[in-house]
Amino acid sequence: MSGGGLLVAGTTSDAGKSVVTAGICRWLVRQGVKVAPFKGQNMSLNSFVTREGAEIGRAQAMQAQAARVEPSALMNPVLLKPGSDRSSQVVLMGRPVGELSARGYHGGRQKTLFEPVVQCLEELRRTYDAVICEGAGSPAEINLRRTDIVNMGIARAARLPVLVVGDIDRGGVFAQFFGTTALLDAEDQKLVAGYLVNKFRGDVTLLEPGLEMLHGLTGRRTFGVLPYTHGLGIDEEDGLRVSLRGSVRESVVAPPVGEDVLRVAVCAVPLMSNFTDVDALAAEPGVVVRFVDRPEELTDADLVIVPGTRGTVRALEWLRARGLADALARRAADGRPVLGICGGYQLLGEHIDDEVESRAGAVTGLGLLPVRVRFAREKTLTRPSGQALGQPVEGYEIHHGVAEVLGGEPFLSDGHGHGLDGCRAGSVWGTHWHGSLESDGFRRAFLRVVAAAAGRRFVPAPDTSFAALREEQLDRLGDLIEEHADTDALLRLIEGGAPSGLPFIAPGAPALPGAPDAGTTPGAAQ
């Protein structure tokens, strides 16, 4: 196989595209195929920093891990980080290039990004045996087709076969499959090779008559039916569409090692970013992680986390308006643990000077840490490592805010007594490092300190490996594809493209002059 490819599209957002893409990558690499993931344009507040210092979506970093390759900016050339309902920061090849409204982006800027996106895909296809591409939203968003660079636009440019994933748990999956196909124009429909049902519960034989009727109506087969699977625990694209209040992160079902459980409350701040930071805590036996938005929900928590956010000043105002700021101050005064991560760390400080993110200027912070923050126009994107609580720790930084630490104790250091990031004042800790809790020794040491401060007889499990658990979850995704999809047919699709002679499904959208496709894009992959 050389330069094979597939676009995994979805009937809706959150249909399971990220999971299916990761599963196909893991299945392929286990067959000895050199494979890479790709998503031309991602909208997400959950991002990651590559070793080269490029910011990409965490879903693509997770898919790269599924493919057992190092993530790179080529795998997610355009990342949109929402700052409000109407504007986003545009990250191109891992670096921010500006802030645009949705109208400004779709009205012109998106077209200029199409060729770089195609070039990144071409480079990956020259390097890997196969590239599994993830779409965004639905390919049938006909209002956006003219400027599409992530669904049928990239499929047309690279002549990629398209597998459409539908979430049957939402209901109406047959209508979703048929309607998605029927809303595409004739040229786009030629690339839609078939369908994959996701999140099915029950006896699959009861579904088969419907799949046969769908084949008769569309001329397209269904490549598999994936069962509903609990506790996959992989990185999600973002939490913008999901109300997290009161929700519990799915975790390994295991009793505590000690006599007590440890309760962690995560403040569900607006524009929450990288809430996957708490997944390593949720993986610990006996640790219960909940997202909350009311002060009374902090009362019985042993640890409160203020997570990262794309809107530090906005999150600060939200905490004050809901009474959570006062609750955090009471916890600090009582010596009860609080941890701020990235934006959460910044707002726990004494002062914020922001002319970049919110343009609010001088703002008074919560004053729980002796820190002053100034927002710089240049974004910090690094992969630091050091020590904390006597244990090695690694992380990654994604922030505009620059913290000046004026007191307290060092939190993360270089191992020689010199602070690298963050600080501690009493029972309040803060750090810019995302992902630090994935370092097993540090996580256990931190939880022991928290348990002691909370008066809990909680003992961290001595052998929990977050990296090993993540590998197990990725193998489960590969198993889903191997056991419940027609892998021989998928392989033929990836190697040979969409079958010829697929019928047109009326009414179809009219062809759009100037829409990105192989005929209008210089250098498009053939």
> In this structure, what token pair is assigned to residue 432?
């810019």
Look up residue 331 and give its amino acid: R
Residue keyed to tokens 């969409």: 498
Phi-psi region of 455 (alpha: psi -120 to 50; beta: other; left: phi over 0): left
| Residues linked to residue 143 through DSSP beta bridges, in sequence order | none
How far apart are the C-alpha atoms of 5 and 78, rounded to whole Å?
19
Q: Which of 264, 261, 302 is nearest to 461 (CA)?
A: 261
CA 7, CA 247: separation in Å to the nearest integer?
Answer: 32
Could you give the angle at which helices 208-218 and 173-182 cross, rounded to 10 degrees?
Answer: 10
In this structure, what token pair is assigned to residue 79?
A: 């990342």
Tokens 């210092």, residue? Answer: 53
Residue of 170, 230, 213, 222 lying closest to 192 (CA atoms): 222
* Neighbouring residues of 143: CB distance < 8 A, sequence distance ≥ 6: none
- For residue 189, give the nearest of 177, 198, 201 by alpha carbon: 177
Q: Going by DSSP bridges, is the β-strand pair 338-341/262-267 parallel, antiparallel, or unpaired?
A: unpaired
User: Can you tell me the distance from the alpha carbon of 44 to that of 430, in angstroms, rounded to the nearest whole number?
Assistant: 24
Nearest CA to 442 among 468, 424, 466?
466
**Alpha carbon 211 to its chain's center:** 31
User: What is the rounded distance in angstroms from the CA atom of residue 450 to the CA atom of residue 464?
Assistant: 18
Sorted by sequence, the CB contacts under 8 Å of residue 116 that are 6+ apart come out as 77, 78, 92, 93
Phi, psi of 439, rounded to the nearest 5 degrees: -80, 110
- Written as one letter, the residue type at 13 is S
Q: Which stretches within 323-433 are classed as H helix?
A: 324-333, 343-347
- Determine the residue type at 6: L
CA–CA dist 168, 210 (Å, integer) = 12
163 touches 221 (CB < 8 A): no
Which positions are annotated as active-site residues?
342, 434
Q: Which two three-digit tokens encode residue 312?
A: 């530090």
